[in-house]
Amino acid sequence: MESVNRYINQNSTRFVAQLKDWLRIPSISTDSRYKAEVARAGEFIAGDLREMGFKVETVPTAGHPIVYAEWLGAAGQPTALVYGHYDVQPPDPLDQWVSGPFEPAERNGNLYARGATDDKGQLLTHVKSVEAWLKTEGRLPINVKFLIEGEEECGSTNLESFIRSNRERLRCDCVVVSDTSQFAPGLPAITYGLKGLVYFEVVLQGPKQDLHSGMFGGSVANPANNLATIIAELRDSRGRVQLPGFYDEVVPLADWERKQFAELPFDEAKFREFVGLEKLVGEEGYTTVERKWARPTCDVNGMTSGYQGEGAKTIIPARASAKISFRLVPNQDPAKIVASFREFVASRCWPGVRNEVRQFGATPAVLVSVDSPSMQAAVRAVEAGFGRKPVFIREGGSIPVVGTFKRELGVDTLLLGWGQNDDNLHSPNEKFSLADFHRGVRASACLWEELARSTMK
């Protein structure tokens, strides 16, 4: 490890220069005008891996290519699969960037550019750590595979089918993903839980056209009033969901989790200021952190009906619709909740009102054991790289691919986030701390060694 770490220290400036070169490529996957740039960004990382000795294939898809790379020289050792993505979010609004989104600039120890943390910068830590091993020791302590897609920011349309049809090739003992955040600056974290998600659009159709609310009011069902009633009955004012059986399979928070969450330096006043609310509210019996990370929720994401312009228009709208989503926790079954929700809506439609429930995705929650050998190896690696033992955190968001790895490959994912919560991913002035970048490379280099020593396999 000593020579590996020396290599990392000696090459840190070159690593940053290389990251900058990669960030200069505007690989905006959702915008078809950038198709060639997206491909170029994929080739950039494919070429680098090939150069250091990986066997690399750039696999065309109906959308952007998938880069697959493997180094399988550690016979008898376990295998890790690193997942990441080389595409980026669009940079709009451009006028809010202090420096150009594709002109990487260093300020106050941060590197500013679109993709700096999400995900080029974070992913590159693993590429540079394997380079350090291969250039110094000529080998890796374990077998390492890379699965790098170019469609993460536009729905990962072709990823799941690729994984499904390449189960053998992708076989591994654990997945490593660095696309999340630390708990706070100086407080590294490993994310061991993600929420699941089911998302619906509910459309209620009342009269065949908007009606005069004076001439028809009181005599026909108003789909907007009906929809409001359905939404109101879905949860109580504290957020407790009223779908029958909704909480039946919920795994309660363990004592150690509640204890550790409570010890985190979570500043509720700062949080209130950030969201711009004088008071917070949520499910009774839980703290704000517990609600955010570990309790299932139901939220209206959007609502539309009738007249939305200025002033008054006196109509009974013909239709009303809402986007409604549920965040799930282990072990809630998305399919059960989809069925329960459809029944809930249909049974609450007023006479004459027809309903349509469109479903957008159903992702189960993820909960990884913090006691597994691979997780304990990751803890040691993060501590080595960041100089402090990581805390275990959960996240309210969903990363669908983690569920796919579990389902298709039967393995857990180590979510080793090197970012910070204020890194402005998906916003102007995205950044990545250069210190965190270097720490990430060191932690990653250590991870291969720790996984080799562990009893993971």
Does residue 311 belong to the site contacting a second copy (CB under 8 A)? yes
**In the beta sheet, which residues pair with residue 56?**
69
The minimum distance between CB 116 and a second copy, in angstroms, equals: 19
The minimum distance between CB 158 and a second copy, in angstroms, equals: 17
Among 241, 208, 226, 198, smallest CA distance to 347 is for 226
Q: In the complex with a second copy, which residue's Cβ is closer, 145 or 295?
A: 295
* CB-count exposure of residue 270 (10 Å: 0-12, 13-18, 19+): exposed
Does residue 199 belong to the site contacting a second copy (CB under 8 A)? yes
Per CB under 8 A, the segment of 45-53, 350-358, 372-380, 448-456 that binds a second copy is 350-358
List, as one string, the DSSP characters of 141-163: SSEEEEEEES-GGGT-TTHHHHH
Does residue 361 belong to the site contacting a second copy (CB under 8 A)? yes
Does residue 262 belong to the site contacting a second copy (CB under 8 A)? no
275-304 binders of a second copy (CB under 8 A): 275-283, 288, 291-292, 295-304
CA-CA-CA-CA torsion sign (271, 276, 278, 280) = negative
Q: In the complex with a second copy, which residue's Cβ is closer, 22 or 326?
A: 326
Among 292, 330, 82, 91, smallest CA distance to 183 is for 292
Does residue 356 belong to the site contacting a second copy (CB under 8 A)? no
Residue 447 tokens, joined:
């991870």
Q: In the complex with a second copy, which residue's Cβ is closer, 225 or 376?
A: 225
The minimum distance between CB 212 and a second copy, in angstroms, equals: 7
Q: Is 53 helix (H, G, I), strand (E, B) or coil?
A: coil
Q: In the complex with a second copy, which residue's Cβ is closer, 248 or 268?
A: 268
The minimum distance between CB 297 and a second copy, in angstroms, equals: 4
Does residue 93 belong to the site contacting a second copy (CB under 8 A)? no
Distances (CA, A) of 228 to 324, 327, 382: 12, 20, 48
Q: In the complex with a second copy, which residue's Cβ is closer, 134 or 315?
A: 315
The minimum distance between CB 303 and a second copy, in angstroms, equals: 4
The minimum distance between CB 395 and a second copy, in angstroms, equals: 7
Q: Are 359 and 334 in contact (CB under 8 A)?
A: no
Per CB under 8 A, the segment of 45-53, 144-152, 220-228, 448-456 that binds a second copy is 220-228
The minimum distance between CB 242 and a second copy, in angstroms, equals: 12
The minimum distance between CB 203 and a second copy, in angstroms, equals: 12
Residue 394 tokens, joined:
């959960």
The minimum distance between CB 338 and a second copy, in angstroms, equals: 14
Q: In the complex with a second copy, which residue's Cβ is closer, 68 or 293?
A: 293
* CB-count exposure of residue 32 (10 Å: 0-12, 13-18, 19+): exposed
Among 321, 305, 297, 283, smallest CA distance to 396 is for 297
Distances (CA, A) of 329 to 196, 256, 344: 6, 17, 20
395-454 binders of a second copy (CB under 8 A): 395-398
Q: Please identify which residue in 224, 378, 409, 416 interacts with a second copy, judged by CB under 8 A.
A: 224
Q: In the complex with a second copy, which residue's Cβ is closer, 85 or 292?
A: 292
The minimum distance between CB 80 and a second copy, in angstroms, equals: 26
Q: If binding means CB under 8 A, how many residues of this protein chain bind a second copy?
A: 82
232-251 binders of a second copy (CB under 8 A): 232-235, 237, 239
The minimum distance between CB 224 and a second copy, in angstroms, equals: 4
Does residue 315 belong to the site contacting a second copy (CB under 8 A)? yes
Does residue 208 belong to the site contacting a second copy (CB under 8 A)? yes
Q: Please identify which residue in 99, 209, 331, 369 interacts with a second copy, judged by CB under 8 A.
A: 209
Q: Is 130 helix (H, G, I), strand (E, B) or coil?
A: helix
Residue 153 tokens, joined:
């920011």
DSSP E strands, 151-274: 174-177, 189-194, 196-205, 211-212
Terminal C-alpha separation, the chain: 22
> Rounded CA gap, 338 and 383, in Å?
41
Q: Are 164 and 156 in contact (CB under 8 A)?
A: no
Does residue 211 belong to the site contacting a second copy (CB under 8 A)? yes
Does residue 64 belong to the site contacting a second copy (CB under 8 A)? no
The minimum distance between CB 315 and a second copy, in angstroms, equals: 5
Plot region of 70 (φ>0 → left; ψ -120 to 50 → alpha; else → beta): beta
Q: Please identify which residue in 323, 336, 342, 406 interacts with a second copy, judged by CB under 8 A.
A: 323
DSSP 8-state secondary structure symbol assigned to residue 349: P
Q: Please identify which residue in 38, 163, 320, 378 interacts with a second copy, judged by CB under 8 A.
A: 320
- Dmax over Cα atoms in the chain, in whole Å? 84
135-194 binders of a second copy (CB under 8 A): none
